[in-house]
């Protein structure tokens, strides 16, 4: 009887950790304008607070499995919670933007390890036939984070201060540490191969350089070429990693993954989709507060339809794909996403219209995320599954980070060239139009997918 109790306790532990991570990912967005005012910065240049966290998570995901195997799941999981709590405390104590960014990096170190290590512990602790049900249980609390995060962040800012957006993590983390010591199994595994330190360093450097390069563009001044140096450096590091991986015996991510057609398409579709849609969690709260004059709390409440409609749409993804096929479903949704992004330029003063748009956007995002995640991994063999899944997780996080950077850069650049007599809404409108073009790019990639629709649906 003891084993089911232990397994259930482990599931609850990982589920709460995932909830804490997803909550933190959304609770900050509505508080950014207030943070900017307190730290004497423009709200249009606070994207580094979000980027620092997302980029750190993306960089460390490839190392999470190796660290757990080398030092044990319990030790690494507890370290993850501790680093997340320490980063949260440092965020709350920050008195400058630079300190806040460094503190978010500490948070990101913890956030990058919690779910992968927790998922690994579950995979090795319960029968494989129960894994799908177990992960469904773990994921459900995490889906609540985006629902309550924006509104909770806005409420804390209004009734207390922005510091509580981070301090709220501390009691949960303390409980998590105590429970982890009793519940988390101490599992280790000998892989029989060395970790690809050089490949990891090259990829980490590339991700950092590309994100920083895009961020630097938002602060662009004539004659300053720092952004170009970072972007070129990032591209060169990626090329260097490709050359290294092509002859290495055990590279971090085998190049053979890209010989699988569906993975190749899914990889690039994920990147462009995230670069477009990833900007919205930053832009929409700013749009509602700076462009529509909503309070932080009300702008947070307005974000709830995105998460609720995403949860509802997820129930119908399988039915849609079975009826119309991956290619037709994903291509149609990509076109509708571009139209939805563009439509934000049409209802500048209608809150009801904005809520409807956000609901539609959440549903489309849910369908796309499930579809391209599945198609990318569908045709990988057993040997390719693990590195393919890890690389997909990395590119999703990196795409989200690049999306935040792209959205902030577009908004800042358009703000600099806003014609006289136009409000800040002009900058938002053109940013939405460019992002619509980015999310449309995957629709052309989906044409390369096999037509897997039923015969009566094919043309």
CATH number at residue 378: 1.20.1250.20
pLDDT digits (tens, 9 = 90+) for 112-127: 888 788 877 887 777 7
pLDDT band with cut points at 50, 70 and 90 for residue 2:
very low
Mean pLDDT over residues 293-320, rounded? 84
Both 300 and 408 in a single domain?
A: yes
Of the two residues 91 and 193, the one the predictor is more confident about is 91
Task: Write down the residue that tokens 């036939």 correspond to.
Answer: 129
pLDDT digits (tens, 9 = 90+) for 421-459: 777 888 888 999 999 999 999 999 999 988 776 655 555
Is the predicted pLDDT of residue 402 greater than 50, yes or no?
yes
pTM of the full structure: 0.79
pLDDT digits (tens, 9 = 90+) for 234-243: 999 989 988 8
Is the predicted pLDDT of residue 28 greater than 50, yes or no?
yes
pLDDT digits (tens, 9 = 90+) for 192-216: 567 888 888 998 898 888 888 887 7
Give the percent of the chain with pLDDT over 90. Answer: 17
Mean pLDDT over residues 404-408, rounded? 84
Both 55 and 84 in a single domain?
A: yes
Both 349 and 408 in a single domain?
A: yes
Is the predicted pLDDT of residue 220 greater than 70, yes or no?
no
Q: Which residues contact 403 (CB under 8 A, 6 or more apart)?
A: 274, 275, 276, 277, 278, 279, 280
Both 31 and 176 in a single domain?
A: yes
Is the predicted pLDDT of residue 222 greater than 70, yes or no?
no
Both 263 and 225 in a single domain?
A: no
Both 408 and 278 in a single domain?
A: yes
Both 109 and 209 in a single domain?
A: no
Both 244 and 279 in a single domain?
A: no
3 state SS for 82-110: HHHHHHHHHHHCCCCHHHHHHHHHHHHHH
- pLDDT given for residue 252 in this prediction: 81
Both 140 and 214 in a single domain?
A: no
pLDDT band with cut points at 50, 70 and 90 for residue 5:
very low
Both 232 and 261 in a single domain?
A: no
Domain that holds residue 24: 1-192
Mean pLDDT over residues 320-331, rounded? 88
pLDDT band with cut points at 50, 70 and 90 for residue 4:
very low
pLDDT band with cut points at 50, 70 and 90 for residue 72:
confident
Mean pLDDT over residues 77-81, rounded? 92
Mean pLDDT over residues 251-265, rounded? 87
Both 100 and 234 in a single domain?
A: no
Find the range with the poorest average confidence among 114-118, 136-140, 161-165, 299-303. 136-140
What total of structural domains would you count in the chain? 3
Question: Please, what is the average pLDDT of the chain?
Answer: 83
Both 454 and 364 in a single domain?
A: yes
- pLDDT given for residue 224 in this prediction: 61
pLDDT band with cut points at 50, 70 and 90 for residue 86:
very high
């Amino acid at each position: 009887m003891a084993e089911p109790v232990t397994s259930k306790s482990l599931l609850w532990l990982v589920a709460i950790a995932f909830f804490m991570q997803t909550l933190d990912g959304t609770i900050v967005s509505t508080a950014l304008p207030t943070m900017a005012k307190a730290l004497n910065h423009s709200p249009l240049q606070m994207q580094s607070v979000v980027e620092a966290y997302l980029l750190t998570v993306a960089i460390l995901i490839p190392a999470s499995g190796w660290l757990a195997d080398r030092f044990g799941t319990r030790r690494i999981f507890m370290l993850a919670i501790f680093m997340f709590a320490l980063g949260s405390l440092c965020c709350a104590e920050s008195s400058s933007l630079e300190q806040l960014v460094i503190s978010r990096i500490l948070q990101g170190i913890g956030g990058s390890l919690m779910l992968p290590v927790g998922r690994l512990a579950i995979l090795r602790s319960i029968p494989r036939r129960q894994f799908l049900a177990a992960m469904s249980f773990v994921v459900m609390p995490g889906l609540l984070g985006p629902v309550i995060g924006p509104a909770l962040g806005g409420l804390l800012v209004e009734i207390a201060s922005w510091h509580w957006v981070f301090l709220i993590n501390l009691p949960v983390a303390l409980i998590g540490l105590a429970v982890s010591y009793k519940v988390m199994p101490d599992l280790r595994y000998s892989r029989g191969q060395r970790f690809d330190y050089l490949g990891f360093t090259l990829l980490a450097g590339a991700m950092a350089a590309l994100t920083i390069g895009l961020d630097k563009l938002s602060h662009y001044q004539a004659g300053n070429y720092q952004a170009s140096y970072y972007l070129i450096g990032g591209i060169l590091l990626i090329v260097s990693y490709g050359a290294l991986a092509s002859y290495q015996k055990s590279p971090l991510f085998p190049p053979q993954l890209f010989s699988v057609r569906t993975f190749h398409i899914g990889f690039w579709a994920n990147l462009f989709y995230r670069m477009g849609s990833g900007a919205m969690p930053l832009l929409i709260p700013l749009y509602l507060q700076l462009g529509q004059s909503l309070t932080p709390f009300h702008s947070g409440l307005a974000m709830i339809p995105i998460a609720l409609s995403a949860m509802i749409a997820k129930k119908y993804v399988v039915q849609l794909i079975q009826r119309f096929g991956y290619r037709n479903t994903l291509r149609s949704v990509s076109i509708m996403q571009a139209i939805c992004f563009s439509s934000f330029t049409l209802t500048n003063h209608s809150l009801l219209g904005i809520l409807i748009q956000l609901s539609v956007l959440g549903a489309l995002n849910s369908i796309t995320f499930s579809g391209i995640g599945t198609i990318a991994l569908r045709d990988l063999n057993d040997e390719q599954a693990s590195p393919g899944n890890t690389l997909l997780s990395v590119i999703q996080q990196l795409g989200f980070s690049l999306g935040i950077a792209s959205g902030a850069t577009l908004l800042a650049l358009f703000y600099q060239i806003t014609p006289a007599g136009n409000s800040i809404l002009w900058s938002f409108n053109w940013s939405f139009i460019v992002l619509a073009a980015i999310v449309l790019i995957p629709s052309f990639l989906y044409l390369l997918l096999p037509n897997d629709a039923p015969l009566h649906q094919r043309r």
